[in-house]
Structure 1
Amino acid sequence: MNFAIVGCGHIAKKHAEAIEHIEGANLVAVCDKVPQAMDEYVKKYGAKPYKNLTDMFNDSSIDVVNICTPSGLHAPIAIEAAKAKKHVIVEKPIALTLEDAESIINSCKENNVKLAVVHPNRFRPVVQELKKLMDEGRFGKLSHANATLRWNRNQAYYDQAPWRGTKALDGGVLMNQAIHNLDLLIWLMGDVEEVYSMSATRLRNIEAEDVSTGVVRFKNGALGVVEAATTIYPKNLEESLSIFGETGTAIIGGITATQFNHLAIESLNDEEIQAIIEKVKRNPIGKPGHQCIIEDMIQAIHEDREPIVNGEEGKRALQLVLAFYESADKKQRVIIDENKLISIGG
């Protein structure tokens, strides 16, 4: 399976390394408007450099295009790739608007190509174990959940490129960092029906928010609390996700949420619980999430099925971020009704 990468910035390196570690996968092409940004991929992987997207998409040897550009540019590139009959892997978020997300999804469907969105945190061993327990009904009736991201992104991070922290191309802590946590909330707890949020730009010189808080009501009646910030001094402090149910409690945490900080399940004895905790401890990182996403895309193509994190899954996470944004902007509750966000006064 031959891959091409569009956008040779920081995140592209994870894609290239993942492709290198997959048997039968080859990075054959890269495209970036800055020629020297492609040099590393040409030298290390033998990828052919392209300055022009159309020329690259005309390369019949390319099977899958990995889009690693600034978020606001995802839609036109993904749509052009789909029209060229290339399968598409797009970095999170799938897009910055629901309209763009739907255009990507529809274009991939119309051209009969697969679409995957990079939400790699789902593949962390601790998250996989938690998902298994929840799917087995071990938590009973769900009470509430809590997602916390307390990280540091200093001004130098945003100053690396003029698009960082902009509303048109990037977004703030919710769109860029905490969208992974929101994706996990939805994946584990189910769809959200109501949001109330407040956000601020407190410490960084950017257009978008650097701190956000909010509460949600899930469609199953459970509640949720979200806190996300890139203002933590002096470095990343924690990423955690807590689930509380009638017959179970789980807290996963650490700097990047890779371990069980607490696990109590009524239907499991102490030895069984400890075995789950120790299993995660032995391999807390697991296989890199980007590699899991790319391997799943290859399997989805061979098996002619949807990728695990498909376009609709990516759109769900985006829609929740946008609901947070609308609530904070209008200072109102927001109802999520299929493809619409409805603001409610009071």
Structure 2
Amino acid sequence: MSEAESPLRFAVVGCGVIGRHHAAVITGRPDAELAAVVDPVPSAADELAAQYGVTAYNDLGDVLARDDIDGVALCTPSGDHAEQAVLALRAGKHVVIEKPLDVDLVAAARLAEVANRSTASATVISQHRFDPATEVVRAAVESGKLGRLTSAVASVAWWRSQSYYDSGAWRGTKAHDGGGALINQSIHTIDLLIWLLGDPVEVTAYSACLAHDGLDVEDTAVAVIRFDSGALAVVHGTTAAYPGTSARLQVHGTHGSAIIDDDRLVYFHAGGSGAEAPAYGGGDTNQAALVLPAQDTGPSAGAEPSALSNAHSLQYADFLTAIRTGTEPLVTIAEATKTLAVILAIYDSAARHVPVPIPSAASTGG
């Protein structure tokens, strides 16, 4: 690797579960290097720093002042993301933001403005866009092989114990966590839904907290989204489904259908004529093994981050390439803002018990 292509040096900000995962991903890449970690809790920063032999800090500003650090990975409470990203971009640092982008569209719009003016790059983690199953379905949608998209179902039925929410004062709070099962656990599946179906225009939703104490956010929500194409989608997200099942996305069109279950393509049929289909059970119409013969059979999407596939590393590869080539990463601030706008519209609809229009990327500053 030439000097011009030497590894980019990152600091991980936030040393919790997902921060530790980012540290492992960065360390495992030949084109990136972990240089520092940051956490306001000294013991958390010291423990992770000792594991990788890097410097520990308790204040983001100390890292941003270092000229030898190229970028930061923000793994902090969701409500801090946009503000910290703005500080990093103004310091000339590239920024990786863990999902969600933030909990507030005004903060997201402010970040978008700063990012558009900055010479540094920014991306928001949406690693499942890089899953092989997602890539197959995205290609089928873009090529028209599924025909006109008519409907979809995005369901994340997981379980999170009371101790999960009690493990951090910010968890399960509207101000810092942004919400519950939708914005934290279901956001990736909702992001894929939007990426595949296009621009959403309106949502009707209901939400409740049914299995946990002390939360001011939902542990269960359902919604119906209408897209500008006319397609309709159902969203179901819960952390009250013991013991937890799968994250599942179904996409249906006039010429084909696809089902992704825990990141695996479990059903795929494309290129039909739209004529009468075989009767159910009257023939094998599943082409999944043909279009994606070798699939990961590792832990499900409900597992701890450290047990998941290499999708985070694939997103880092995309981001590092974008930095070196001066191009946009696959997941931009604008893309992440669109997903955030949908989730916040779901919350608004559930709170007011009315259909709510979903703001366009232009109106949200994306």
TM-score (structure 1 length as normaliser): 0.92
CA–CA separation in structure 1 for the residues paired with 2:219 and 2:297:
34
Cα offset, 1:261, TM superposition: 2.7
Structure 2 residue aligned with 1:337, among 356, 359, 362? 359
Q: Cα 1:287–1:302, aligned 2, differ >3 Å: closer, same or farther?
A: farther
Secondary structure of the residue that 1:300 maps to in structure 2? helix
2:270 aligned partner: 265
Matched AA of 1:316:
K
Report the alpha carbon displacement of residue 281 of structure 1 after superposing the two structures with TM.
Answer: 5.5
> Identity over the aligned pairs, expressed in percent?
36
How far apart are residue 260 of structure 1 and its match? 2.6
Report the number of matched residues.
337
Once the two structures are superposed, the pairs formed by residues 143-162 of structure 1 within 5 Å of their partners are 143-162=150-169
Show CA shifts across 1:167-223 (max 9, x none): 000021111111111100110110100100000011112110000001011111100
Structure 2 residue 211 is the aligned partner of structure 1 residue 209: no
- AA matched with 2:266: N
CA distance in 2, matches of 1:53, 1:213: 37
Which amino acid letter does the alignment assign opposite residue 193 of structure 2? L
Gaps of 5+ in 2: 1-7, 274-283, 301-307
Match of 2:337 in 1: 315
The answer to whether the aligner puts 1:54 opposite 2:61 as a matched pair is: yes
- CA displacement at 1:71 relative to structure 2: 0.2
Aligned CA distance change for structure 1 residues 52 and 272 (closer, same or farther; 3 Å): closer
Query: Quick one: which amino acid aligns to residue 258 of structure 1?
Result: D
Q: Which residue of 2 aligns with 1:301?
A: 323
Report the AA paired with residue 110 of structure 1: R
Given that residues 258 and 284 in structure 1 are in contact (C-alpha distance below 8 angstroms), is that contact kept between their aligned partners in structure 2? no
Q: Is the 8 A contact 2:151 2:232 kept in 1?
A: yes
- Counting only pairs closer than 5 Å after superposition, residues 187-198 of structure 1 correspond to structure 2 as 187-198=195-206
Give me the whole-angstrom Cα distance separating, in 2, the residues matched to 1:260 and 1:181.
Answer: 14
Q: Which runs of 4+ in 1 moved over 4 A?
A: 267-273, 281-287
What is the RMSD of the two structures over their aligned residues, measured on CA atoms?
A: 2.0
By percentage of residues, which structure has more strand?
1
For residues 87 and 333 of structure 1, the distance between their equivalents in structure 2, rounded to whole angstroms, comes to 38
In the alignment, the residues of structure 2 paired with residue 273 and residue 153 of structure 1 have an alpha-carbon distance, to the nearest angstrom, of: 31
Please give the secondary structure, in 2, of the residue aligned with 1:215: strand
- How far did 1:266 drift? 3.2
1:123 matched residue in structure 2 = 130
Q: Give 2:267's aligned amino acid.
A: H
**For residue 264 of structure 1, what is the amino acid of its counterpart?**
H
Gap regions ≥5 residues in structure 1: 342-346
Distance 2:132 2:312 in 1: 14
Q: Secondary structure at the match of 1:2?
A: strand
Residue 247 (1) aligns with residue 255 (2): yes
Per-residue Cα deviation, 1:31-67 (whole angstroms, up to 9, x for no partner): 1111110123322222211122212111001111100
TM-score (norm 2): 0.87
Q: Secondary structure at the match of 1:22?
A: coil
In structure 1, the residue corresponding to 2:343 is in which secondary structure? Answer: helix
